[in-house]
């Protein structure tokens, strides 16, 4: 299972661990990922995503999954999230 957020595309970064003696060794900074179930108001369904804590706060701030996906860039979303975004757009244009 990859350590990449499905909504924001945030993944692992690399950097240095610096000791008190100023020794430097490489390390990885992993994103804070959580398995979450988000509900789409338009589709009336729930979807499971692996989302970073920062992206989850953004979903709440924008007013839910539908509003978040409407503003999200396609290249940042995972394949599953992109599929949900297209379903939501199709239902909204039909209504």
As a whole number of Å, the end-to-end CA separation of the chain is 37
Q: Do 14 and 28 touch, CB atoms closer than 8 A?
A: yes
Write the CATH number of the domain with boundaries 13-94: 2.30.170.40
- Cα(20)–Cα(23) distance, rounded to whole angstroms? 7
DSSP states of 5-29: -TTT----EEEEEE-TT--EEEEEE
In Å, what is the CA distance from 31 to each residue of 25, 36, 83, 90?
A: 20, 15, 23, 32
Q: What is the pLDDT along the chain (95 residues), one digit of tens a residue?
A: 789 999 999 999 999 999 999 999 999 999 999 999 999 999 999 999 999 999 999 999 999 999 999 999 999 999 999 999 999 999 999 87
């Amino acid at each position: 299972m990859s350590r990449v957020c499905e909504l924001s595309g945030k993944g692992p970064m690399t950097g240095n661990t610096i000791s008190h003696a100023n020794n430097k060794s490489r390390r990885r900074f992993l994103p804070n990922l959580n398995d979450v179930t988000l509900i789409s108001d338009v589709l009336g369904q729930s979807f499971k995503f692996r989302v970073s804590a920062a992206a989850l706060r953004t979903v709440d701030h924008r007013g839910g999954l539908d509003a978040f996906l409407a503003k999200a860039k396609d290249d940042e979303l995972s394949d599953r999230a992109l599929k949900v975004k297209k379903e939501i757009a199709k239902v909204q244009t039909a209504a």
